[in-house]
Structure 1
């Protein structure tokens, strides 16, 4: 879902601004968020009808 990804990216940028983190921390955060988004996507695909875009 594009909406979920947009929310994750917005959270990532807010977290980055608050913490003033290094690029390596940003990269690890993004990769963790990507894995979470993938897991959510798999869960949603397992329940058809909830996600109809």
Structure 2
């Protein structure tokens, strides 16, 4: 009824590797901008405070 041969195993392995690469890319794309936003408000607030102090 179900025949699992070498070709099916190769397809499974390639699909698993592709899924891991795609998942890693998606997680990296989501985390990268989030880390940039984490740092940006502190730097911007420091810049505004420094420019107003020179006034």
Q: TM-score, normalised by structure 1?
A: 0.49
How high is the TM-score relative to the length of structure 2? 0.47
Q: Which has the higher contact order (CA 8 A, sep 6+)?
A: 1
> Bigger radius of gyration, 1 or 2?
2
